[in-house]
Chains A and B, each alone.
Chain A
Amino acid sequence: MTASVVPRLRIRDLRVSANTPDGRVQVLTGVDLHVDPGEILALVGESGCGKSTTARAVMGILATPPLRVDGGAIELDGKQLLTLNRSGLDRIRGKSLTMIFQDPNASLNPVFTVGDQMEAILARHAPRGERTRLGRRRWRRAARERIATTLRQMRLAEPERIMGSYPFQLSGGMKQRVLIAMALLNEPSLIVADEPGSALDVTVEDQILELIEAQVTERHLSLLFITHNLGVARRLAQRVAIMYAGQVVEVAPTRTIFERPAHPYTRGLLDAIPKLSGGTTAGIPGRMPDIAQRPKGCPFHPRCPHRMDICETETPTPVRHDGSLVACHLYPGSAA
């Protein structure tokens, strides 16, 4: 069991709500997750399931208002993140906790060179007094060297040229690599990645995923990888968590998710995805519930082929079943 390991990230009963014209709406209804040291956890779901909200809550960058954390806890290496004040969070964020965003164009500043933007990251988290001790010029030279080394590790040839470039002078794949370099620059222990590479072509995305995989292994990092693509999750992650309508419905090792999916929604998703080997696909009837009108009981029950009476009234609690942690009334299992 993994119980002996202190997880790098632990999310407990995270509840987030949004202020809307129709009143408060629950966006996350109690998310429980953990990421172990050196592990890649893929958080998978369709749009509106709350996967990006979970990522943003971990980073402390929820748009508040309208969003608000109503309860629960987020711990990084045992340290509470939600109770930290701004300056406490700023010491962690960008240092031991970093994020890779999906859209490189929106996350790089168009009016500064890549080198200047990366130098600012190092300057922000430089140990107290380091800059005065070394002197501005020497500190800067050391910083530039460190940036060049990191860029080279991203398999970017000519790091000096890239440092002197503005984002518009780089291709999409290069910008994505720069973002990864930025996330790695301060040697974090946990990276939250929100669909990196998904805006790119498959051949380039493939290279980006390979790079992320290699860096995570090499640096023994933990990665919370947000994606809507189960194929990407299969390729990268050791464990996969499936989200639906603001909650995690199933968590299991990657093999288990793909070979013996337990939750009817997970099965439906797998059946809906076209496969390279061919075969027919079947969609899930109905549509994603509007979170403002989340169904009572299990949120998936209106679309579920195994619906029972209990599903309409009671929200299932996650139970262990055949290697999965699954929130479904089909499985009596032992409470987790």
Chain B
Amino acid sequence: MTAPQPLLEVRDLRTYFPVRGGVLNRSHGQVRAIDGVSLTVNQGETYGIVGESGSGKTTLGRAILGLAPVTAGEIRLDGARLPDRAQKRTAALRTAIQPVFQDVSNSLNPRRTVGAIVADPMAVHRVGTRHSRRTRTRELLELVELPGSFAERYPHELSGGERQRVALARALALEPRLIVLDEPTSALDVSVQAKIVELLLSVQRQLGLTYLLISHDLALVRNITDRISVMYLGRIFEEASVAQVFDDPRNPYTACLLTAVPDVDDGSGAVRPGLRVLPGELPSMRQPITGCAFLSRCPVRADVCATDEPPLRTIGTGHLSLCHFDSYVRDPAVAVAERGTP
């Protein structure tokens, strides 16, 4: 096997949004949507980012696309640093990363035909002639398993699944290297979802694409990604291969998430840590957090968690966890003693 080639590298990324208000609309605080995220997505893999709402996963996807501000840190593609904003990126860099969003009814222009929607990125980037773009549009529709006649139709004539196929065809039009899939199936019914997942995987095989999949659906992420990050309050809490996260979760937050998912398949192999979040409220994202960000809801917290912010540290091969302890199963006193008081 060849060594994995990093395609996308994110280093200590921070995105803070100012909170404005008052008569003068002055900034009086910040929401820390992403608070120091680093990750590497390798060529040809599917990297998953899971988290609940407010975890910063969507903002992270948007920052990578150049659609959200970057307060600090950097994003690299093929080793070259990307300008923060899409407007400042060269055309070639912009074509390299393409999005597929969750809400297809809002991301397809209702007044344009499917053919025009799919051909649009090529027209904007002046790829080919009008005629060659039309041929290419047919090819793209075929690739996403839609009949060529759909080019004449309007989005409202299509089902949710068909619209998501159109969105994928559009994302593929410029031959991107990385596709950011933000909840690509969560607006769809399960029987349709599975079809879209099959399509995403087959397109990836055919074109050698790299996917960054952002989702709250842990079961979906388990089925199609190679490595994942679990995010909470703008931070990565656990990063590992899919097998490690699902068969040997170490972080208490991951364990809580896995317990909470209503699964149709209990028993056969799935780890159900039996850990539940405490009913506490989430800390305000406006203030810097003292101690661990998960403190208020962590069922296995210890004294050290209230005072010291845990580092994201390696606890196994390719396995990172943001916690003072190596595992969520523990006797707090023992674990602290073993590591020494940090």
A residues whose Cβ falls under 8 Å from a Cβ of B? 46-47, 155, 171, 201-203, 205-207, 209, 228-232, 234-235, 258, 268-285, 287-288
Q: Is the CB of B194 within 8 A of A202?
A: no
Is B161 close to A, CB under 8 A? yes
Report whether A275 and B265 are in contact in the complex, using a CB–CB cutoff of 8 Å: yes
Chain B contacts with A in 212-262, Cβ cutoff 8 A: 216-220, 222-223, 242, 246, 256-262
- State which of A205, A232, A281 has its C-beta within 8 Å of the C-beta of B197: A281
Least CB separation from B189: chain A residue: A46
Q: How far is the CA of A276 from the CA of B254 in the complex (A)?
A: 13
Q: Are A234 and B264 in contact (CB under 8 A)?
A: yes
Give min CB distance, B163 to chain A, whole Å.
12
Cβ–Cβ contact A276 & B263, under 8 A:
yes
CB contacts (< 8 Å) of A155 on chain B: these are 279
In the bound complex, how far is the Cα of B298 from the Cα of A143, in angstroms?
36
Distance in angstroms between the alpha carbons of A287 and B188 in the assembled complex: 12
Residue of A nearest to B198 (CB): A283
Q: Which of B59-67, B121-129, B269-277, B312-320 contacts the other chain?
A: B269-277
Is B24 an interface residue when CB atoms closer than 8 A count as contact?
Answer: no
Residues of B within 8 A of A (CB): 52-53, 159, 161, 189-198, 216-220, 222-223, 242, 246, 256-266, 268-270, 276-277, 279, 281, 297
Pairs A–B under 8 Å by Cβ, sample size 12 = A202-B52, A230-B190, A231-B262, A231-B263, A274-B194, A275-B223, A275-B263, A278-B222, A281-B197, A281-B198, A283-B196, A288-B159
Complex A-B, nearest 5 residue pairs according to Cβ-Cβ distance, in ascending order:
A231-B262, A283-B194, A283-B195, A277-B270, A206-B260
Known A201-B52, A269-B191; contact A281-B279, beta-carbon cutoff 8 A: no
Residues of B close to A285: CB separation below 8 A: 195
Q: How far is the CA of A205 from the CA of B277 in the complex (A)?
A: 11
B53 and A201 contacting across the interface, CB-CB below 8 Å: yes
- Give chain A residues whose Cβ lies under 8 Å from the Cβ of B218: 202, 276
Rounded to whole Å, the gap between the CB of B310 and the closest CB of chain A is 20
B227–chain A nearest beta-carbon distance, Å: 14
For the complex, give the distance between the alpha carbons of A46 and B191 in Å.
8
Q: A171-B281, A202-B261, A287-B161 are in contact. Are A277 and B189 (CB under 8 A)?
A: no
Contact between chains at B216 and A201 (CB < 8 Å): yes
A201-B52, A201-B53, A281-B197 known; A273+B270 contact, CB < 8 A: no
The residues of A that contact B281 with a CB separation of less than 8 Å are 171
Q: A269-B190, A283-B192 are in contact. Are A202 and B216 (CB under 8 A)?
A: yes
Partner among A203, A271, A275, A282 whose Cβ is within 8 Å of the Cβ of B260:
A203
Give the complex CA separation of A137 and B256 in angstroms.
Answer: 46
Chain B residues, Cβ within 8 Å of A282: 194, 198
Cβ B257 vs Cβ A202 within 8 A: yes
**Within 8 Å CB of B197, what residues of A?**
274, 281, 283
A230 cross-chain contacts in B, Cβ below 8 A? 190, 264
A128 to B187, CA, bound (A): 48
Which chain A residues lie closer than 8 Å to B297 at the CB level?
203
Tell me if A284 and B257 are in contact (CB < 8 A): no
Closest B residue to A197 by beta carbon equals B262
> What residues of chain A lie closer than 8 Å to B195, measured between beta carbons?
283-285
In this complex, which of B53, B159, B256, B279 has the most chain A Cβ atoms within 10 angstroms of its Cβ? Answer: B279
Q: B262: which A residues are within 8 A, CB to CB?
A: 202, 205-206, 209, 229, 231-232, 234-235
Once the chains are docked, how many angstroms separate the CA of A36 from the CA of B311? 53
Is the CB–CB distance between B260 and A202 below 8 Å? yes
Chain A nearest CB, measured from B259 CB (Å): 7
Beta-carbon contact of A287 and B265 below 8 Å? no
> What are the residues of chain A within 8 A of B260 when measuring CB–CB?
202-203, 205-206
Inter-subunit contact A272/B190 (CB<8 Å): yes
Per a CB cutoff under 8 Å, which of B159, B189, B220, B269 touches A274?
Answer: B220
Most buried by A among B53, B242, B264, B268: B264
Distance between Cα atoms of A138 and B128 in the complex (Å): 80
Q: Is the CB of B191 within 8 A of A268?
A: yes
CB neighbours of A279 from chain B (8 A):
223, 265
Q: B259, A206: Cβ atoms under 8 Å? A: yes
- Find chain A residues with CB under 8 A from B196 CB: 283
Q: Judging by beta carbons under 8 Å apart, are A46 and B190 in contact?
A: yes
Nearest Cβ distance between residue A10 and chain B, in whole angstroms?
Answer: 28
Q: Please determine whether B264 and A203 come into contact, CB atoms closer than 8 angstroms.
A: no
Smallest CB gap from A156: residue in B = B279
Given the known interface contacts A155-B279, A206-B259, A287-B161, the answer about A277 and B191 at a Cβ–Cβ threshold of 8 Å is no
CB pair A231–B222 under 8 Å, yes or no, is no
A99 to B150, CA, bound (A): 42
Measured CA separation A290–B276 after assembly (Å): 41
A273 and B190 in contact, given A171-B281, A278-B269, A281-B223 (Cβ under 8 angstroms)? yes
Q: Is the CB of B191 within 8 A of A231?
A: no
How far, in Å, is A72 (CB) from chain B's closest CB? 26
Chain B nearest CB from A43 CB (Å) reads: 15
Nearest CB of A to B238, in Å: 15
Residues of B within 8 A of A288 (CB): 159, 189, 191
Inter-chain contacts of A229 with B (CB < 8 A): 262
Partner of B219 from A201, A274, A284 at Cβ < 8 Å:
A274
Q: Which residues in A have their C-beta under 8 angstroms from that of B189?
A: 46-47, 228, 288
Q: Chain B residues with Cβ under 8 A from A235's Cβ?
A: 262
User: What's the Cα separation between A231 and B196 when bound, in Å?
Assistant: 20
